Amino acid sequence: MLKMAVLALMGAVSAVGVAQAVSSFQTSAETPQLRAAIAVAPQAAQGAPASIAKASDGHYWAEADVNGARVRFLVDTGASAVALTLADAKRLGIATDKLSYSYKVMTAAGEARAAPVTLGKVSVAGTQLREVEALVIDKGLDSSLLGMTYLGRLASFEATRTSLILRP
């Protein structure tokens, strides 16, 4: 079920000359906590509708509060999951050397390993979710991605020419 739920971690990211693409996602061993998390219906988002302005590079960059720390995410509707760079994961206090890197992902820089984690609280522009499933990518990701394990739990989101509107 996990393979079907997260078959492809994809993203098309190009910002300031950087291109990232996460195009495949496969597991070598499903973890019990991820199977359990999929079986339980996630809580609804809290907060009021919020807006993220489109940056001059044409992307939507979100400043998020993750477990009490700030993380800058590239909003990526093509990414199946929230993906953290190794540096961001370390700043969040995640013991990256103790994670199980049981997933393989393909980035623009080549193959990388990914480890599943659960983020206790993620708040973007006042729209808050708890227990957000994410992946820590060991290399090849220049910025963290705000993917569908966050966006897909919102009531809706809408990209306009000037902003991204999040509706909890």
pLDDT, mean of residues 99-125 = 91
Total structural domains within the chain: 1
Instruction: Output phi, psi for 92, to 5 deg.
Output: -80, 0
Q: What is the pTM of this model?
A: 0.75
Residue 98: CATH number of its domain: 2.40.70.10
3-state helix/strand/coil string of the chain: CHHHHCCCCCEEEEECCEEEEECCEEECCCCHHHHHHHHCCCCCCECCCEEEEECCCCCEEEEEEECCEEEEEEECCCCCCEEEEHHHHHHCCCCHHHCCCCEEEEECCEEEEEEEEEEEEEEECCEEEEEEEEEEECCCCCCEEECHHHHCCCCEEEECCCEEEEEC
Q: What is the pLDDT of residue 134?
A: 97
Residue carrying structure tokens 């590079």: 57
Give the domain range for residue 40.
2-167
Residue-wise pLDDT tens digits, 53-99: 999 999 999 999 999 999 999 999 988 899 999 999 999 999 999 99
Nearest to 131 by CA among 67, 86, 76: 67
Residue 46's pLDDT band (boundaries 50, 70, 90)? Answer: confident
Q: What is the pLDDT of residue 12?
A: 32
CB 66 within 8 A of CB 130: no
Query: Residue 39, Cβ neighbours under 10 Å: how many?
Result: 8
Angle at 123 between CA 132 and CA 104, to 5 degrees: 35
